[in-house]
Amino acid sequence: MGVKYGREYKDIIYDLQNALTKIVGIHSFFDMTDEEWNILSKKQRMNCLQTLADDIFFGLGEESIISIHNTKIIYYSDQHIIVVQNPNEINYVISLIDSK
């Protein structure tokens, strides 16, 4: 099936990666403790989140909803968006097409 998109892939992944930074306890997804996560540099943490964003993007091509902790990442193919629903934060809407 696959996720259809018209924006630059790197821009979509960047947006998704930034939304993932808002998930409280995201490091436990990588089986890391607070201490292990905090030892990593910001660049290393963002690299982990970029890899996760890539995996989520491709996973959404098979399943339209992916859950990480209490956050749902939903692909709305008919609207060409990915929504990150985090109950503790604002929902993030990531457009898959240029708005030009």
Q: Which residues have CB under 8 Å from 29's CB, separation 6+?
A: 52, 68, 69
Please give the mean pLDDT across all residues of the chain.
Answer: 92
Is the pLDDT confidence value at 93 over 90? Answer: yes
Residues in the chain: 100
Predicted TM-score (pTM) of this structure: 0.90
19-66: pLDDT as tens digits: 999 888 899 989 999 999 999 999 999 999 999 999 999 999 999 999
Q: N- to C-terminal Cα distance for the chain?
A: 26
Cross-strand partners of 76? 81
What DSSP letter does each residue of 75-87 carry, written as one string? EETTTTEEEEE-T
Are 81 and 91 in contact, with CB atoms under 8 Å apart?
no
